[in-house]
Structure 1
Amino acid sequence: MSAGAERRSLGSRIGTYAIAFAIGVVYGTVATIGHRHAIEVGGVSIPWGVVAGLVGVAALLIGIRLVAGGRGAATAAAAGIVATVAVLALPGPGGSVLVADGVVGMVWAIGPAIISVLVVAWPSLPTRDARRA
């Protein structure tokens, strides 16, 4: 492989990681803002926001891992999500918080990190060509 091809490959990977990180930051922000949504059904509050947020984290990371073809981009997106959730869980300058203390807040604060570890650490499946041989 020529030096020019290696530079393009490195630049392409860095660009992919940067885009994946930015997507993770955006998703982490949107899902943190919406994780407290709930619906009342028969007097029982169902926290659909945190469920949708966690399913979205898993879907986003699995999709990025499948499309990018490796763990690197999924790790970058996971870092963006987890860092954003961690920052937004801290109290703001006026003392207000987006991630309130309670079960839903704790699930949201810890859930994306656990999902990220599982998706990134999951073993790679063999390709179709390797299975046929």
Structure 2
Amino acid sequence: MKNTRDNDLSDRRSAAADAKAALLQSYRAAKEAAEPTRLARQEERMAVAVAREERRAERERLKLDEQKRTQAAAAERQATADAAARAEVEAREKAETDRISRVIEDAALRKAARDLRYANRKARQK
């Protein structure tokens, strides 16, 4: 028997359209069947993203706390160093002032002793 079926263009087009419709139908059915798992995966991804963001925020907060602590320690060390330097300068100035006053006192004592010797010598001469 001879195959009497013609494979005309219209037959091929309708067969292609039917195949395309069947493919679309199976895609929609698979999509509907996978919807609950897709939603679950999406919720899981959202939960992971939220947890990641919380961990990042916590790391950032800890980093800022550590930075503030470091800055406070550095400021404290600087204040201590400044106070020590100021105390050293004040001590040096006081020592210099004391030395100057001792030199002036010694000069005054020498002058008084010289004046006394001069007065005694004048008294002996008269």
TM-score > 0.5, shorter chain as reference: no
Q: Which has the higher contact order (CA 8 A, sep 6+)?
A: 1
> Per residue, is there more helix in 1 or in 2?
2
Task: Tell me which structure has the larger Cα radius of gyration.
Answer: 2
